[in-house]
Every structure is written in structure tokens, then in C-alpha cells.
Amino acid sequence: MSFDDGEELRRRDPRVEHILRNRLHPQHESLISAPAETRGPSGLVRKNPHQIGFIGPNGLKRIDRLAGNGPVLGRDVRAAKVKTEALRPLVSIAQAEQFVVAVMDMVGGRLTAHDKDVLGQAQQLAAEIPEVCAVVAVVFGAVKEDAFELAGVDRLIHLRGEDYQGYCPEQSIAALQVIDQKLSPRFWLFPDSVHGAGELGLRLAARLQERPATQAWQVSSEKTTFRGGSQRTDICVDTPRLLLLAEESAAPIEDTRHEVVPMSELTEDLAAQVLPCIKDGGQVAVDPKQISLAEAEFILAAGNGITDWEQFHSASEILRATEGASRVAVDDGLMPRNTQVGATGTWVSARVYIAVGISGAVQHLQGIASCDKVIAINTDAGCDMVKRADLSVIGDSQEILAELIQLCELRQEQEMKQGVEHVA
Ligand SMILES: Cc1cc2nc3c(=O)[nH]c(=O)nc-3n(C[C@H](O)[C@H](O)[C@H](O)COP(=O)(O)OP(=O)(O)OC[C@H]3O[C@@H](n4cnc5c(N)ncnc54)[C@H](O)[C@@H]3O)c2cc1C
């Protein structure tokens, strides 16, 4: 065999390859720690495709998207994320000539994954507009979110006060109409979801007598493709001004920080001047078992590490959590098939996901990728679920669930006592 002059002959080093494959080897971290992402001179993140992923036990390259695509894992990923967030270049818009307004769902006072997709789309549209364009987020009621700047919000309109608490579409639409008159947005974006903003989008379209695109999933300033015909047909139209976006229609913002300038001068004028006909009767308690897993906000999931199933069901009942399960628990006939979470089960997006005795196989982790906070209860401190979790409790599931049930009972008793005292 001959090689051209100058062609570099690549030599393999079996020892290095062995260390790269073995995540437990003491030299593993140092050998793979070359950065997978660096910030270029323009401030944008550049990815080194050769550094993404790791070599699996069979010698093939694997990309673990849950571990941030890089060689770092678990807690290191979160630390690296916080570090890169602080380094993102700040986008500041002093004088905006055009606006793209995005109305947010804000489930539980926080941006949902769907909200972040909508903001990502809003920034894409803003970039296509030739004039200086700012993305304005409109949020209603109590807000707990502290990361608007990382989600792509240039301007923020926060409508608070009693008028905007609970279900109040009439007041909200009146406010959106004032925003429409004052800003004349180039585009209005809403998440097409069941959490409220989608309904506002439809109501605003009716009020403004404009035809919106619903379930839009491919959007540019010129053309929009949306799902029609009971979700069976894709229809392409000239992009309308009002867009209700499907989930994952655009990638959320990852590379920049934004100023989040409050538009307080606008919100001062927005005191609702409507006499509402709809009265919000408050929230109604529902049986968590009746909520579909895909929509559940709080899930208690069981795996092969559960030894006392009666106790697991009592825990889910007292916590008022929807039950989920790993495939092993389902295959063993201990949980119904419709509770399986993961690649071949349901993809969930709960705000809190408690995984009891679940090891964190990649197929399971895929299904919980959109969950906000993950809590692992496991005897194995080194398992992948513990690495993925925001909070871990290391110990026997039976003992920990027993403690949890006891704490909940104690709290319920206290609340009942306080209620009786209040009535007396
Ligand atoms: C094509 C394919 C698709 C798949 N799809 C899915 C899917 O959609 N969803 C899914 O879940 N799996 C799926 N799997 C299976 C997946 O690979 C794992 O086998 C499965 O998720 C493991 O379930 P587990 O974590 O409950 O069990 P195990 O892997 O057995 O883990 C049990 C865990 O419990 C812990 N434990 C043990 N005893 C205790 C105790 N007393 N207290 C606390 N913790 C304890 C252990 O430390 C361990 O971490 C799929 C597999 C294939 C091949």
C-alpha cells in the first residue's frame, strides 16, 4: 500500500481508545476535556463536531443530547451551562422601529418549553425584518420567571393586578387590542396550546377580523406552513400577521442574552376598561389519575427499584401526582401500558418529575427531556437518572416514600387544624 507524499498517516492508540471508552477510568475526563464549544470572535458559539459525543462500549460514537452533547456529564453539564449563559453576548435594541409581539402561556408563572419555542420564532422573524425590530413578550398575572433575558425577550409587557388573575379573556383581549393600536406589531405570535394564550390568539384574530394561521410549524416572514384538515394536511400560505405556533416549530434562543426592557409606559394605560361577562369560579380539583401523562404537571414515576407497590400508589395519591412508569415496570405487569414514559411510551413535559427506582436508560431519559425539574430517588448515586436530576435522594425507595407520606400526612393535619381555627 502506498501513500501520497504529505498525506498524514493516522495512527491509532489502543490504550487511549480504551480510556476514551471507559467513563470510569481516572484519565477519562482529562482526555476528553477539550472544549466541544468555543465562543468565536463575534461572540457566537462555535461547535466542534469532532468533540461532540463520546465513544460507546461497542466502539461507536454516541451523541447524548441530554448530557449537553459534550463530553461533560451530570452536574458538570449544569455548571457549564450556567457559565456559558453568563458569557452570551447581550443584544440591546435602543430604538425599535418594528415589533414582533409574543403572548406567553406562563404555566405556573414560568415560561413553558412551548413559550420558549415561540420566542425563538419571534427572534427569527425579527431578524428577517429589514428595520430594527424588537421582540415584545406579553405576560399576565403573577410571574415567577427569572430568565426572560435568556429566552430572547427584548421588551416586556407585564399585565398584573386583580383584573388579570385567573381566567379573564375579556380583559386580556382589551389589553392586547391597546397594544395592537400602540405598537402596530408586524407579527403577533401565540403558542397554539390549551394553556390560554392560544385562545387569546383566536379571540384577538376575531376582534381584529384577521385570519390567523393555527398549528403553524414552518414560518418565515414570507411563507407559513400549518396543519389543516384535522391535522392531516399541510397548507402553505403567505404569512399572516397572527400566528398560532405548534410546539417545536422553532428552536429556542441559545446563543444570546436580551435586555428585557419593561414597557411600563404602555402598561400604565392598560387598566382594563371592560365590564367582564365571564366570572372565574376558581380552579376545580381534578383526579390526577384522569390527567393524561403528556399534559400532567406533576408526575411520580415508578421503576424496577419499587418494592412496595401499595405504598407507591398511596404516595401518588397523597402527593396528588399523576403516575408514570419505566418500561420494566410496565413489562412486568406492575403498571398499565399507558403509564410508560419514554421513547416508546409517552413523552412528558411535567414541571416536576419524581423518578423512584428508575436507572435512567437513554430511552427513558428521552421521554423526560422537556421536564422542568427532575427528582431522583435511587440507591445508586452513580446512575444516569441521578446525573440527569436536579435533586437526588440516595436511599431505599420504600424508606423514602414512607417518610414522604408521613410528612404529607402531617402537613394535611396542620392545614386541617388551621382551617378549623379559621372557621371558629
Ligand atoms: C427499543 C427499546 C425501547 C425502550 N423504550 C423504553 C421506554 O420508552 N421507556 C423506558 O422506561 N424504557 C424503555 N426501554 C427499556 C430501557 O432500556 C430500560 O431497560 C428501562 O428503562 C429500565 O427500567 P428501570 O430503570 O425501571 O429498571 P432498571 O434498569 O432495573 O433500574 C432500576 C433502578 O432502581 C434502583 N433501585 C433498585 N432497588 C432500589 C431501591 N430499593 N430503592 C431505590 N432504588 C432502587 C437501581 O439502582 C436502578 O437504578 C426500551 C428499551 C428498548 C430496547
In the chain, the domains with their CATH numbers are 14-87 (no CATH), 90-268 (3.40.50.620), 288-420 (3.40.50.1220)
Q: 329: Cβ below 6 Å to ligand 1?
A: yes
pLDDT reported for residue 406: 96
Q: Which atom of ligand 1 is nearest to the CA of 307?
A: 41
Give the helix/strand (H/E) hosting 257.
strand 257-258
Task: For residue 40, give every residue at least 6 positions away whose Cβ sits within 8 Å of its Cβ, in sequence order, or none.
Answer: 46
Question: 323 pairs with which residues across the strands?
Answer: 300
Give the helix/strand (H/E) hosting 18.
helix 14-21
pLDDT reported for residue 116: 94
**Residues 149, 259 contacting (CB under 8 angstroms):** yes
Q: Taking 80 as the threshold, does the pLDDT of residue 138 lie above it?
A: yes
Q: Taking 50 as the threshold, does the pLDDT of residue 74 lie above it?
A: no
Q: Taking 50 as the threshold, does the pLDDT of residue 70 lie above it?
A: no
Query: How far, rounded to the nearest angstrom, does the alpha carbon of residue 420 sit from its chain's CA centroid?
Result: 40
Task: Give the 3-state secondary structure of 97-142.
Answer: CEEEEEECCCHHHCCCHHHHHHHHHHHHHHHHCCCCEEEEEEEECC
Q: What mean pLDDT do residues 415-421 have?
A: 76
Closest Cα to atom 7, ligand 1: which residue? 342
Q: Taking 80 as the threshold, does the pLDDT of residue 149 lie above it?
A: yes
Confidence of residue 64 (pLDDT cuts 50, 70, 90): low
C-alpha cell at 253: 434562543
In angstroms, the Cα distances linking 292 to 63, 129, 254, 311 are 30, 40, 30, 22
Q: Which atom of ligand 1 is nearest to the CA of 303?
A: 26
| Between residues 71 and 278, the one the model is more confident about | 278
**Residues 248, 219 contacting (CB under 8 angstroms):** no
Average pLDDT, the chain: 85
Q: Which amino acid is at 310?
A: E
Cα four-point dihedral sign 175, 179, 181, 182: positive
Alpha-carbon distance of 118 to 187, in angstroms, equals 12
Q: 340: Cβ below 6 Å to ligand 1?
A: yes
What are the φ/ψ torsions at residue 359 (nearest 5 degrees)? Answer: -75, -25
Q: What mean pLDDT do residues 291-298 have?
A: 89
Q: Which atom of ligand 1 is nearest to the CA of 360?
A: 25
Per-residue DSSP letter, 297: S
Q: 381: Cβ below 6 Å to ligand 1?
A: no
pLDDT reported for residue 23: 67
Out of 307, 309, 323, 328, mutate this one to test ligand 1's pocket (max ligand atoms within 8 Å of CB): namely 328
pLDDT reported for residue 306: 97
Q: Which atom of ligand 1 is nearest to the CA of 344?
A: 8
Question: 245 pairs with which residues across the strands?
Answer: 191, 216
**Residues 244, 191 contacting (CB under 8 angstroms):** yes
| Between residues 76 and 254, the one the model is more confident about | 254
Q: Taking 60 as the threshold, does the pLDDT of residue 410 lie above it?
A: yes
Q: What mean pLDDT do residues 230-252 have?
A: 91
Confidence of residue 71 (pLDDT cuts 50, 70, 90): very low
Confidence of residue 160 (pLDDT cuts 50, 70, 90): confident
In angstroms, the Cα distances linking 289 to 104, 284, 322 are 28, 15, 5
Closest Cα to atom 17, ligand 1: which residue? 361
| Between residues 379 and 54, the one the model is more confident about | 379
pLDDT reported for residue 423: 57
pLDDT reported for residue 420: 65
Query: How many CB atoms lie under 10 A from the CB of residue 345?
Result: 21
Q: 311: Cβ below 6 Å to ligand 1?
A: no
Query: How many CB atoms lie under 10 A from the CB of residue 363?
Result: 14
pLDDT reported for residue 179: 94
Q: What size, in residues, is the chain? A: 424
The model's pLDDT over 101-117, given as tens digits with 9 standing for 90+, comes to: 999 999 888 898 899 99
Q: Taking 70 as the threshold, does the pLDDT of residue 77 lie above it?
A: no
pLDDT reported for residue 10: 57
Out of 338, 363, 399, mutate this one to test ligand 1's pocket (max ligand atoms within 8 Å of CB): namely 363
| Cα R_g (the chain), whole angstroms | 25
Q: pTM, whole model, 2 decimals?
A: 0.64
